A = this chain, B = another copy of it.
Amino acid sequence: MHDMMVSRTAPDPAPEAQSPASSNPSFSPLYRQIKGLITRGLQHGDWKPGELIPSESDLARRFGVSQGTVRKAVDELAAEGLLLRRQGRGTFVSTHHEERVKFRFLRLVPDVAEDARALPQPMERQFLECKRTRASQDVARMLGIRSGESVTQIRRLLLLAGNPVVYEDIYLPGPAFRALTAERLESYRGPLYALFESEFSTRMVRAEEKLRAVNATEQEARLLRVKEGEALLLVERLSFSYGELPAEYRRGLYDTRHHHYRNELN
């Protein structure tokens, strides 16, 4: 991260929250430019997940703006989950190692959970496969690569008290995950995304999911120990790393007889 001043008329590259009929479309407030600079610092690896970033007053000095302007930029980044503020300590780069944000993307909760907001107890994992393969047309389209390109595929089960609840295929693009092995997956304690972050420099920032109900095939039924034809929740997830880069495609089948997918609408 370099010290640098900032212009007051540069356009905002981020398409978020744009007025459709803006009189001056090439206008970006200062704090958004600061936000962009901080984001670039995160992408570039100036500060790694879990690390402390410079204080607001420090950043304000570097960028040549007031602390309030930096504050607004950091506010938005914290709201998007890229940064984590801790009063009295400083501002940290978000990480999937954080106890508070573990399983941030898993919305499956047991029906009997007394408090739906409580953290789910971790499930047992069983890895069935971890191999290099070529992207099918579907997978390639989701990941924004060409079909036939190399991807890493993980197949696993999640179990609760010995009962399989989730069966999923995970696809990771490109050569970044070449070194990933079944053994490493087995030995690692903690969320997959924490592993990806620590050892493969890929941090998942946000994700889009598509949900549908499907009837279990014979193979799926066997693995999840349900009857063939049983209704399963199919969850397709596309995860993005910094800069809206598609970094993982996941296809999960959830047994929802004793669990449900929880969502909040605002």
Contact = CB atoms under 8 A, between A and B. Distances in A.
Interface string A111-134: 000001000000000000000000
Contacts of A81: 266
Interface in A207-266: 207-215, 229-234, 237, 254, 256-257, 259-266
Contact of A208 (B207, B208, B215, B264): B264
Contacts of A264: 206-209
A215 B230 CA distance: 7
Interface residues of A, number: 36
Nearest to A105: B265
Contacts of A87: 19
B265 A104 contact: yes
Given A229-B229, A231-B215, A232-B213, A207 B265 contact: yes
Contacts of A230: 215
A149 interface: no
A81 B206 CA distance: 21
A80 interface: yes
Nearest to A82: B266
Contact of A213 (B19, B80, B214): B214
Interface in A47-73: none
A147 to B, nearest CB: 20
A261 B210 contact: yes
Contacts of A256: 211-214
Given A211-B262, A231-B231, 20 more contacts: A19-B87, A104-B265, A206-B264, A207-B264, A208-B262, A208-B263, A209-B263, A210-B260, A210-B261, A210-B262, A210-B263, A211-B211, A211-B261, A213-B234, A213-B254, A214-B256, A215-B229, A215-B230, A231-B232, A263-B263
